[in-house]
Amino acid sequence: MINTKEHWRDVYKSDYLATWDLEANVVLTIKEAVKQKCKLAKGEEIKLVLHFFEEFTPNGVKVKPMICIPTNCKFIHVKTGLQFYSDWTGIKVEIGSGENKGGIGNSTGLRIVNVVTSIDITEILRCTDLTKVRQEANKVLKSLTVEQKEDIRNHIAQLENV
């Protein structure tokens, strides 16, 4: 039997990245941040929009531009020290979903959860002193990608089992 049911999201195709485009957090590199007129459900509005270098997410979804709400803008500014969005090219951001208190009640929205710096964790993964590994990992924890955090967790687990 052919499924003739259609998901409601398929009716509202968005030109912008949405929470349902992500199965998990994703790291994307900002190509440019631009002020542009966006066509939204309630009409056209000027928004800050992030465009990315990557074409697809790890789960194969085409990467679309992301409307950058003020909370996300402030997060990038605070984490990088760059207050001018024209300077954000090349910044890697980890995007996830978070609670959003909007006009239709609580829902989820896109959140920049981390600004990823190119931290080399090779020395942490080579270290065999469990206490030192934990100390060094805690120093850089907020700047690591999800994958780097998982690598360190696995390394710590191995050290604990020795």
pLDDT tens, position by position, for the chain (162 residues)? 666 787 676 677 788 998 888 888 999 999 999 999 998 878 899 999 999 999 998 878 889 999 999 999 999 998 888 899 999 998 999 999 887 665 555 577 899 998 987 778 899 999 999 999 999 988 887 677 777 888 999 999 999 987
Whole-angstrom CA distances from 17 to 62, 96, 109, 154 are 9, 11, 10, 32
89: which residues sit within 8 A by CB, 6+ positions away?
Answer: 30, 31, 32, 33
Going through the chain in order, the beta strands assigned E by DSSP cover: 26-40, 43-52, 66-67, 92-102, 105-116
Q: What's the pLDDT at 138? A: 87
Find the helix or strand (DSSP H, E) in which 77 lies: helix 70-80
- At residue 92, φ and ψ (nearest 5 deg) are -95, 125
The answer to whether the beta carbons of residues 100 and 106 sit under 8 Å apart is yes
Whole-prediction pTM: 0.68
